[in-house]
Amino acid sequence: MKKIMLIFGTRPEAIKMCPLVKELKSRKGVDTCVCVTGQHREMLKQVLDAFSVEPDYNLNVMHEQQTLFDVTERVLDGMQSVLKSVNPDVALVHGDTTTTFASALACFYMGIPVGHVEAGLRTYNVHSPYPEEFNRQAVSSIADYNFAPTALARDNLIREGKKPESIFVTGNTAIDALGTTVVQDFQHPDLTWAQGSRLVILTAHRRESWGEPLRNIFKAIRRVVDEFPDVKVLYPIHLNPLIRQAADEVLAGCDRIRLTEPMDVITFHNFLARSYLILTDSGGIQEEAPSLGKPVLVLRDITERPEGVEAGTLKVIGTQENVIYHEFKTLLTDEKLYDSMSRAQNPYGDGLASKRIADILIKGNTRL
Ligand code: UD1
Ligand code: UDP
Protein backbone atom coordinates (compact mmCIF):
# COMPACT_ATOMS: atom_id res chain seq x y z
CA MET A 1 0.00 0.00 0.00
CA LYS A 2 1.30 3.48 -0.91
CA LYS A 3 2.23 5.56 2.12
CA ILE A 4 1.67 9.31 1.81
CA MET A 5 2.71 11.73 4.54
CA LEU A 6 1.40 15.30 4.69
CA ILE A 7 3.59 17.75 6.59
CA PHE A 8 2.49 21.25 7.65
CA GLY A 9 2.82 23.58 10.60
CA THR A 10 1.21 27.02 10.23
CA ARG A 11 -2.37 28.23 9.88
CA PRO A 12 -2.36 28.87 6.10
CA GLU A 13 -0.68 25.54 5.30
CA ALA A 14 -3.23 23.76 7.45
CA ILE A 15 -6.18 25.49 5.78
CA LYS A 16 -4.92 24.39 2.38
CA MET A 17 -3.72 20.90 3.38
CA CYS A 18 -6.72 19.75 5.43
CA PRO A 19 -8.95 19.35 2.34
CA LEU A 20 -6.23 17.13 0.86
CA VAL A 21 -5.92 15.14 4.10
CA LYS A 22 -9.68 14.52 3.96
CA GLU A 23 -9.56 13.54 0.30
CA LEU A 24 -6.64 11.12 0.72
CA LYS A 25 -8.19 9.56 3.81
CA SER A 26 -11.37 8.89 1.83
CA ARG A 27 -9.47 6.87 -0.79
CA LYS A 28 -8.79 3.14 -0.73
CA GLY A 29 -5.32 1.71 -1.30
CA VAL A 30 -3.43 4.52 0.37
CA ASP A 31 -2.06 4.89 3.87
CA THR A 32 -2.29 8.59 4.81
CA CYS A 33 -0.28 9.98 7.68
CA VAL A 34 -0.27 13.57 9.00
CA CYS A 35 2.71 15.18 10.69
CA VAL A 36 2.40 18.72 11.99
CA THR A 37 5.50 20.59 13.04
CA GLY A 38 3.57 22.83 15.41
CA GLN A 39 5.34 25.94 14.05
CA HIS A 40 2.04 27.56 15.05
CA ARG A 41 0.20 26.29 18.11
CA GLU A 42 -3.20 27.89 18.83
CA MET A 43 -3.65 29.11 15.24
CA LEU A 44 -2.90 25.61 13.93
CA LYS A 45 -5.23 23.96 16.41
CA GLN A 46 -8.07 26.24 15.30
CA VAL A 47 -7.77 24.83 11.77
CA LEU A 48 -7.30 21.20 12.78
CA ASP A 49 -10.42 21.46 14.94
CA ALA A 50 -12.44 23.15 12.18
CA PHE A 51 -11.62 20.34 9.75
CA SER A 52 -11.62 17.57 12.41
CA VAL A 53 -8.12 16.47 11.44
CA GLU A 54 -6.13 14.59 14.09
CA PRO A 55 -2.37 14.57 13.37
CA ASP A 56 -0.40 11.35 13.82
CA TYR A 57 2.72 13.28 14.83
CA ASN A 58 3.21 16.74 16.32
CA LEU A 59 6.75 18.08 16.65
CA ASN A 60 5.44 20.91 18.83
CA VAL A 61 8.28 23.26 17.86
CA MET A 62 6.66 26.64 18.60
CA HIS A 63 7.83 28.96 21.29
CA GLU A 64 7.23 32.67 21.94
CA GLN A 65 8.92 34.96 19.42
CA GLN A 66 10.80 32.14 17.78
CA THR A 67 13.48 32.99 15.23
CA LEU A 68 13.98 31.52 11.77
CA PHE A 69 16.94 29.61 13.23
CA ASP A 70 14.81 28.10 16.01
CA VAL A 71 12.12 26.87 13.66
CA THR A 72 14.50 25.59 10.97
CA GLU A 73 16.65 23.65 13.47
CA ARG A 74 13.76 22.18 15.39
CA VAL A 75 11.79 21.10 12.33
CA LEU A 76 14.84 19.58 10.62
CA ASP A 77 15.78 17.69 13.73
CA GLY A 78 12.24 16.55 14.58
CA MET A 79 11.43 15.44 11.05
CA GLN A 80 14.44 13.14 10.94
CA SER A 81 13.03 10.68 13.47
CA VAL A 82 9.45 10.86 12.16
CA LEU A 83 10.57 10.21 8.59
CA LYS A 84 12.79 7.36 9.77
CA SER A 85 9.93 5.61 11.52
CA VAL A 86 7.23 6.22 8.85
CA ASN A 87 9.42 6.05 5.74
CA PRO A 88 6.66 7.31 3.39
CA ASP A 89 6.68 6.73 -0.38
CA VAL A 90 6.08 10.43 -0.81
CA ALA A 91 5.92 13.40 1.56
CA LEU A 92 3.73 16.39 0.73
CA VAL A 93 4.67 19.89 1.84
CA HIS A 94 2.77 23.10 1.18
CA GLY A 95 3.73 26.57 0.03
CA ASP A 96 6.61 28.56 1.44
CA THR A 97 6.99 28.62 5.22
CA THR A 98 9.99 27.54 7.28
CA THR A 99 8.11 24.30 7.98
CA THR A 100 7.84 23.77 4.22
CA PHE A 101 11.51 24.40 3.58
CA ALA A 102 12.96 22.52 6.56
CA SER A 103 10.72 19.47 6.19
CA ALA A 104 11.40 19.25 2.44
CA LEU A 105 15.10 19.47 3.23
CA ALA A 106 14.75 16.64 5.78
CA CYS A 107 13.04 14.49 3.11
CA PHE A 108 15.79 15.32 0.62
CA TYR A 109 18.49 14.28 3.11
CA MET A 110 16.66 10.97 3.63
CA GLY A 111 15.98 10.30 -0.04
CA ILE A 112 12.20 10.56 0.37
CA PRO A 113 10.35 11.96 -2.68
CA VAL A 114 8.72 15.34 -2.10
CA GLY A 115 5.43 16.60 -3.52
CA HIS A 116 5.06 20.39 -3.38
CA VAL A 117 1.51 21.64 -3.11
CA GLU A 118 1.09 25.27 -4.32
CA ALA A 119 4.30 25.11 -6.34
CA GLY A 120 5.61 27.75 -8.72
CA LEU A 121 4.51 31.00 -7.06
CA ARG A 122 7.21 33.62 -7.52
CA THR A 123 8.14 37.24 -6.97
CA TYR A 124 11.80 36.62 -7.91
CA ASN A 125 12.81 38.91 -5.04
CA VAL A 126 14.20 36.81 -2.17
CA HIS A 127 13.64 39.70 0.23
CA SER A 128 9.92 40.01 -0.47
CA PRO A 129 8.15 38.11 0.87
CA TYR A 130 10.94 37.19 3.27
CA PRO A 131 11.90 34.41 3.74
CA GLU A 132 9.03 32.81 1.79
CA GLU A 133 10.38 33.50 -1.70
CA PHE A 134 13.60 31.70 -0.82
CA ASN A 135 11.68 28.82 0.77
CA ARG A 136 9.51 28.19 -2.26
CA GLN A 137 12.40 28.38 -4.70
CA ALA A 138 14.49 26.03 -2.55
CA VAL A 139 11.67 23.48 -2.35
CA SER A 140 11.20 23.64 -6.13
CA SER A 141 14.80 22.62 -6.60
CA ILE A 142 14.18 19.29 -4.84
CA ALA A 143 10.48 18.52 -5.44
CA ASP A 144 9.59 15.41 -7.45
CA TYR A 145 5.92 16.41 -7.89
CA ASN A 146 4.99 20.05 -8.41
CA PHE A 147 1.30 20.78 -7.92
CA ALA A 148 0.96 24.22 -9.49
CA PRO A 149 -2.28 26.07 -8.69
CA THR A 150 -2.39 27.99 -12.00
CA ALA A 151 -0.94 27.91 -15.50
CA LEU A 152 1.16 30.93 -14.61
CA ALA A 153 2.79 29.06 -11.72
CA ARG A 154 3.46 26.13 -14.07
CA ASP A 155 5.09 28.49 -16.58
CA ASN A 156 7.43 29.81 -13.88
CA LEU A 157 8.58 26.26 -13.14
CA ILE A 158 9.02 25.40 -16.81
CA ARG A 159 11.09 28.56 -17.35
CA GLU A 160 13.27 27.50 -14.43
CA GLY A 161 13.96 24.16 -16.12
CA LYS A 162 11.76 21.86 -14.04
CA LYS A 163 10.78 18.70 -15.91
CA PRO A 164 7.32 19.25 -17.49
CA GLU A 165 6.27 15.71 -16.49
CA SER A 166 6.77 16.64 -12.80
CA ILE A 167 4.33 19.59 -13.01
CA PHE A 168 0.54 19.34 -12.66
CA VAL A 169 -1.87 22.27 -12.80
CA THR A 170 -4.46 21.43 -10.16
CA GLY A 171 -6.05 24.66 -8.94
CA ASN A 172 -5.47 25.87 -5.40
CA THR A 173 -6.74 23.80 -2.47
CA ALA A 174 -7.69 27.14 -0.80
CA ILE A 175 -10.75 27.12 -3.05
CA ASP A 176 -11.56 23.56 -1.94
CA ALA A 177 -11.52 24.82 1.67
CA LEU A 178 -13.67 27.86 0.88
CA GLY A 179 -16.33 25.56 -0.58
CA THR A 180 -16.95 24.04 2.83
CA THR A 181 -16.65 27.04 5.15
CA VAL A 182 -18.97 29.77 3.87
CA VAL A 183 -22.58 29.32 5.00
CA GLN A 184 -25.84 31.25 4.55
CA ASP A 185 -27.02 31.56 8.15
CA PHE A 186 -23.87 32.89 9.83
CA GLN A 187 -24.31 34.79 13.10
CA HIS A 188 -21.66 36.47 15.24
CA PRO A 189 -21.63 39.33 17.80
CA ASP A 190 -19.05 41.24 15.72
CA LEU A 191 -21.38 41.00 12.73
CA THR A 192 -24.15 42.59 14.80
CA TRP A 193 -21.67 45.32 15.79
CA ALA A 194 -20.88 45.97 12.09
CA GLN A 195 -24.50 46.11 10.93
CA GLY A 196 -25.35 49.28 9.02
CA SER A 197 -21.67 50.11 8.35
CA ARG A 198 -19.23 49.28 5.61
CA LEU A 199 -17.18 46.49 7.17
CA VAL A 200 -13.47 46.42 6.35
CA ILE A 201 -11.47 43.32 7.27
CA LEU A 202 -7.82 43.91 8.06
CA THR A 203 -4.99 41.38 8.49
CA ALA A 204 -1.27 42.15 8.59
CA HIS A 205 1.57 40.00 9.82
CA ARG A 206 4.43 39.79 7.26
CA ARG A 207 7.94 39.61 8.62
CA GLU A 208 9.29 42.24 6.18
CA SER A 209 6.67 44.69 7.54
CA TRP A 210 7.55 44.33 11.22
CA GLY A 211 8.40 47.74 12.72
CA GLU A 212 7.91 50.94 10.70
CA PRO A 213 5.93 49.56 7.72
CA LEU A 214 3.36 47.99 10.05
CA ARG A 215 2.97 51.24 11.95
CA ASN A 216 2.57 53.11 8.63
CA ILE A 217 -0.21 50.72 7.63
CA PHE A 218 -2.03 51.23 10.92
CA LYS A 219 -1.62 55.03 10.90
CA ALA A 220 -3.09 55.29 7.39
CA ILE A 221 -6.07 53.13 8.32
CA ARG A 222 -6.71 55.11 11.47
CA ARG A 223 -6.73 58.39 9.50
CA VAL A 224 -9.25 57.06 6.98
CA VAL A 225 -11.55 55.56 9.63
CA ASP A 226 -11.55 58.90 11.48
CA GLU A 227 -12.81 60.56 8.27
CA PHE A 228 -15.52 57.99 7.36
CA PRO A 229 -18.16 57.53 10.09
CA ASP A 230 -19.88 54.72 8.14
CA VAL A 231 -16.75 52.53 8.09
CA LYS A 232 -15.88 49.90 10.69
CA VAL A 233 -12.68 47.87 10.71
CA LEU A 234 -12.38 44.38 12.14
CA TYR A 235 -8.83 43.17 12.71
CA PRO A 236 -8.26 39.62 14.00
CA ILE A 237 -4.65 40.01 15.08
CA HIS A 238 -1.99 37.37 14.49
CA LEU A 239 -0.74 35.97 17.84
CA ASN A 240 2.79 37.30 17.35
CA PRO A 241 3.18 39.78 20.26
CA LEU A 242 5.10 42.22 18.02
CA ILE A 243 2.04 42.67 15.86
CA ARG A 244 -0.37 43.03 18.77
CA GLN A 245 1.85 45.69 20.35
CA ALA A 246 1.98 47.83 17.18
CA ALA A 247 -1.77 47.44 16.63
CA ASP A 248 -2.55 48.46 20.22
CA GLU A 249 -0.27 51.50 19.95
CA VAL A 250 -1.91 52.95 16.83
CA LEU A 251 -5.40 51.47 16.55
CA ALA A 252 -6.69 51.16 20.11
CA GLY A 253 -9.24 53.62 21.47
CA CYS A 254 -11.35 54.03 18.31
CA ASP A 255 -14.83 52.53 18.72
CA ARG A 256 -15.11 51.80 14.99
CA ILE A 257 -11.96 49.66 14.96
CA ARG A 258 -12.28 46.30 16.65
CA LEU A 259 -9.14 44.30 17.46
CA THR A 260 -9.87 40.63 18.11
CA GLU A 261 -8.10 37.32 18.62
CA PRO A 262 -7.42 35.25 15.47
CA MET A 263 -10.70 33.81 14.21
CA ASP A 264 -11.24 30.17 13.44
CA VAL A 265 -11.29 29.66 9.70
CA ILE A 266 -15.05 29.10 9.39
CA THR A 267 -15.81 32.33 11.23
CA PHE A 268 -13.16 34.25 9.31
CA HIS A 269 -14.30 33.10 5.87
CA ASN A 270 -17.85 34.09 6.73
CA PHE A 271 -16.67 37.55 7.73
CA LEU A 272 -14.74 37.87 4.47
CA ALA A 273 -17.88 36.91 2.58
CA ARG A 274 -19.84 39.69 4.35
CA SER A 275 -17.22 42.42 4.21
CA TYR A 276 -17.21 45.55 2.07
CA LEU A 277 -13.49 45.38 1.30
CA ILE A 278 -10.29 43.80 2.59
CA LEU A 279 -6.92 45.24 3.55
CA THR A 280 -4.28 42.53 3.89
CA ASP A 281 -0.71 41.39 3.41
CA SER A 282 -1.76 37.74 3.61
CA GLY A 283 -1.05 35.33 0.79
CA GLY A 284 -4.06 33.08 1.28
CA ILE A 285 -6.58 35.92 1.49
CA GLN A 286 -5.43 37.15 -1.93
CA GLU A 287 -6.65 33.81 -3.30
CA GLU A 288 -9.90 33.69 -1.34
CA ALA A 289 -11.13 37.25 -1.98
CA PRO A 290 -11.42 37.03 -5.79
CA SER A 291 -13.84 34.14 -5.58
CA LEU A 292 -15.89 36.02 -2.96
CA GLY A 293 -15.95 39.15 -5.12
CA LYS A 294 -14.30 41.32 -2.45
CA PRO A 295 -11.87 44.09 -3.43
CA VAL A 296 -8.46 43.76 -1.79
CA LEU A 297 -5.82 46.39 -1.21
CA VAL A 298 -2.62 44.36 -0.82
CA LEU A 299 -0.36 45.87 1.84
CA ARG A 300 2.88 44.78 0.19
CA ASP A 301 5.27 46.03 -2.47
CA ILE A 302 4.97 42.95 -4.64
CA THR A 303 2.77 39.87 -4.99
CA GLU A 304 3.32 36.30 -6.15
CA ARG A 305 -0.39 36.15 -6.99
CA PRO A 306 -0.64 38.29 -10.14
CA GLU A 307 -3.69 36.34 -11.35
CA GLY A 308 -5.85 38.20 -8.83
CA VAL A 309 -4.41 41.55 -9.94
CA GLU A 310 -5.11 40.61 -13.56
CA ALA A 311 -8.67 39.58 -12.63
CA GLY A 312 -9.11 43.10 -11.21
CA THR A 313 -9.81 42.15 -7.59
CA LEU A 314 -6.39 42.86 -6.07
CA LYS A 315 -4.46 46.10 -6.04
CA VAL A 316 -0.91 46.09 -4.65
CA ILE A 317 -0.39 49.34 -2.74
CA GLY A 318 2.74 48.86 -0.60
CA THR A 319 3.32 50.00 2.97
CA GLN A 320 3.74 53.77 2.75
CA GLU A 321 1.31 55.69 4.92
CA ASN A 322 0.24 58.33 2.40
CA VAL A 323 -0.22 55.85 -0.43
CA ILE A 324 -2.38 53.55 1.72
CA TYR A 325 -4.38 56.53 2.99
CA HIS A 326 -5.06 57.71 -0.56
CA GLU A 327 -5.84 54.26 -2.03
CA PHE A 328 -8.13 53.25 0.85
CA LYS A 329 -10.02 56.55 0.64
CA THR A 330 -10.34 56.29 -3.14
CA LEU A 331 -11.81 52.79 -2.94
CA LEU A 332 -14.36 54.04 -0.39
CA THR A 333 -15.45 56.98 -2.55
CA ASP A 334 -15.03 55.85 -6.17
CA GLU A 335 -18.07 53.66 -6.88
CA LYS A 336 -16.93 52.77 -10.39
CA LEU A 337 -13.59 51.50 -9.11
CA TYR A 338 -15.32 49.62 -6.29
CA ASP A 339 -17.75 47.94 -8.68
CA SER A 340 -15.00 46.90 -11.08
CA MET A 341 -12.90 45.40 -8.27
CA SER A 342 -15.82 43.56 -6.68
CA ARG A 343 -16.83 41.56 -9.72
CA ALA A 344 -16.41 37.93 -8.62
CA GLN A 345 -13.56 36.34 -10.53
CA ASN A 346 -11.76 33.21 -9.53
CA PRO A 347 -8.48 32.45 -11.21
CA TYR A 348 -7.45 29.99 -8.51
CA GLY A 349 -9.42 26.84 -9.18
CA ASP A 350 -12.74 25.05 -9.13
CA GLY A 351 -12.65 23.42 -5.69
CA LEU A 352 -11.38 20.09 -7.05
CA ALA A 353 -7.64 20.58 -6.54
CA SER A 354 -7.42 17.99 -3.73
CA LYS A 355 -9.15 15.37 -5.87
CA ARG A 356 -6.72 15.98 -8.72
CA ILE A 357 -3.68 15.77 -6.46
CA ALA A 358 -4.99 12.54 -4.91
CA ASP A 359 -5.63 11.04 -8.38
CA ILE A 360 -2.13 11.87 -9.52
CA LEU A 361 -0.52 10.41 -6.41
CA ILE A 362 -2.67 7.28 -6.21
CA LYS A 363 -3.37 6.35 -9.80
CA GLY A 364 -0.12 7.67 -11.15
CA ASN A 365 -2.22 9.78 -13.53
CA THR A 366 0.50 11.96 -15.03
CA ARG A 367 -1.53 14.50 -17.03
CA LEU A 368 -4.81 16.31 -16.46
C1 UD1 B 1 4.64 32.17 9.58
C2 UD1 B 1 5.32 31.97 8.22
C3 UD1 B 1 4.66 32.85 7.16
C4 UD1 B 1 3.16 32.69 7.14
C5 UD1 B 1 2.60 32.88 8.55
C6 UD1 B 1 1.12 32.60 8.54
C7 UD1 B 1 7.72 31.50 8.24
C8 UD1 B 1 9.08 32.07 8.28
N9 UD1 B 1 6.72 32.38 8.32
O10 UD1 B 1 4.93 33.49 9.99
O11 UD1 B 1 5.18 32.50 5.88
O12 UD1 B 1 2.61 33.65 6.28
O13 UD1 B 1 3.25 31.97 9.45
O14 UD1 B 1 0.49 33.13 9.65
O15 UD1 B 1 7.55 30.31 8.16
N16 UD1 B 1 2.37 32.62 17.65
C17 UD1 B 1 1.62 32.12 18.70
N18 UD1 B 1 0.68 31.16 18.46
C19 UD1 B 1 0.44 30.68 17.22
C20 UD1 B 1 1.18 31.19 16.14
C21 UD1 B 1 2.15 32.14 16.38
O22 UD1 B 1 1.80 32.53 19.84
O23 UD1 B 1 -0.44 29.81 17.07
C24 UD1 B 1 3.41 33.64 17.90
C25 UD1 B 1 4.65 33.06 18.62
O26 UD1 B 1 5.16 34.03 19.50
C27 UD1 B 1 5.62 32.86 17.46
C28 UD1 B 1 5.29 34.07 16.59
O29 UD1 B 1 3.87 34.19 16.66
O30 UD1 B 1 6.96 32.83 17.89
C31 UD1 B 1 5.73 33.98 15.14
O32 UD1 B 1 5.33 32.75 14.53
P33 UD1 B 1 6.16 32.21 13.25
O34 UD1 B 1 5.51 30.99 12.74
O35 UD1 B 1 7.61 32.13 13.56
O36 UD1 B 1 6.04 33.39 12.21
P37 UD1 B 1 4.74 33.98 11.48
O38 UD1 B 1 4.92 35.44 11.43
O39 UD1 B 1 3.52 33.39 12.07
N1 UDP C 1 -7.46 33.37 8.51
C2 UDP C 1 -8.18 32.78 9.56
N3 UDP C 1 -8.41 33.52 10.69
C4 UDP C 1 -7.95 34.79 10.83
C5 UDP C 1 -7.19 35.36 9.77
C6 UDP C 1 -6.96 34.62 8.63
O7 UDP C 1 -8.62 31.64 9.46
O8 UDP C 1 -8.20 35.40 11.88
C9 UDP C 1 -7.20 32.54 7.30
C10 UDP C 1 -7.41 33.21 5.96
O11 UDP C 1 -8.74 33.04 5.49
C12 UDP C 1 -6.41 32.47 5.07
C13 UDP C 1 -5.27 32.17 6.01
O14 UDP C 1 -5.81 32.24 7.32
O15 UDP C 1 -6.95 31.24 4.62
C16 UDP C 1 -4.17 33.15 5.82
O17 UDP C 1 -3.26 33.02 6.85
P18 UDP C 1 -2.11 34.08 7.13
O19 UDP C 1 -2.55 35.42 6.67
O20 UDP C 1 -1.73 33.89 8.54
O21 UDP C 1 -0.91 33.53 6.24
P22 UDP C 1 -0.49 33.72 4.72
O23 UDP C 1 -1.63 33.32 3.85
O24 UDP C 1 -0.09 35.14 4.55
O25 UDP C 1 0.68 32.82 4.57
268 CB within 6 A, ligand 2 = yes
Give the nearest ligand 1 atom to 63 CA. 30
- Rounded to the nearest angstrom, the distance between the alpha carbon of 158 and the centre of ligand 1 is 31
- Name the more confident of 222 and 291: 222
pLDDT at 343: 87
Q: Which helix (H) or strand (E) holds 272?
A: helix 265-273
The answer to whether residue 132 is catalytic is: yes
Does pTM surpass 0.75? Answer: yes
pLDDT range class, residue 345, cuts 50, 70, 90: confident
| Residue 90 backbone phi and psi in degrees, to 5 | -150, 145
The answer to whether residue 304 is catalytic is: no
Whether residue 129 is preceded by a cis peptide bond, meaning omega within 30 degrees of 0, is yes
pLDDT at 210: 95
Q: Any idea which ligand is nearest the CA of 131? A: 1
pLDDT at 104: 98
- Average pLDDT estimate for 116-123: 98
How far apart (Å, rounded) are the C-alpha atoms in residues 95 and 244? Answer: 25
| HSE value, Cβ hemisphere, 13 Å, CA-based, for 59 | 30
The answer to whether residue 207 is catalytic is: yes
- Average pLDDT estimate for 345-352: 92
pLDDT for 364 beyond 90: no
pLDDT, tens only, 7-37: 999 999 999 999 999 999 999 989 999 999 9
Instruction: Provide the 10 A C-beta neighbour count for residue 201.
Output: 24
- Closest by CA to 114, choosing from 124, 104, 123, is 104
40 CB within 6 A, ligand 1 = yes
- Rounded to the nearest angstrom, the distance between the alpha carbon of 177 and the centre of ligand 1 is 21
pLDDT for 90 beyond 70: yes
pLDDT at 329: 98
How far apart (Å, rounded) are the C-alpha atoms in residues 188 and 133? Answer: 36
pLDDT for 327 beyond 90: yes
pLDDT, tens only, 52-74: 999 999 999 999 999 999 999 99
165 CB within 6 A, ligand 1 = no
201 CB within 6 A, ligand 2 = no
pLDDT, tens only, 180-217: 899 999 999 999 999 999 999 999 999 999 999 999 99
- Closest by CA to 46, choosing from 199, 236, 209, is 236
Q: Any idea which ligand is nearest the CA of 50? A: 2
- Name the more confident of 345 and 107: 107
- Walk me through the domains of the chain, giving residue ranges and CATH numbers: 2-171+352-363 (3.40.50.2000), 189-342 (3.40.50.2000)
pLDDT, tens only, 269-320: 999 999 999 999 999 999 999 999 999 999 999 999 999 999 999 999 999 9
Query: What pairs with residue 236 in β-bridges?
Result: 260
**CB neighbour list of residue 28: distance below 8 Å, 6 or more residues apart:** none
27 CB within 6 A, ligand 1 = no
How far apart (Å, rounded) are the C-alpha atoms in residues 168 and 161? Answer: 15
CA 358 to chain centre: 21
pLDDT for 366 beyond 80: no
- Closest by CA to 93, choosing from 83, 85, 84, 348, is 83
pLDDT, tens only, 131-162: 999 999 999 999 999 999 999 999 999 999 99
How far apart (Å, rounded) are the C-alpha atoms in residues 209 and 345? Answer: 28
pLDDT for 368 beyond 60: no
**CA distance readout (Å), 164 to 153, 161, 348:** 12, 8, 20
- Closest by CA to 164, choosing from 104, 120, 121, is 120
| HSE value, Cβ hemisphere, 13 Å, CA-based, for 33 | 19
How far apart (Å, rounded) are the C-alpha atoms in residues 178 and 192? Answer: 23
pLDDT at 367: 39
Whole-number average pLDDT of the chain: 96
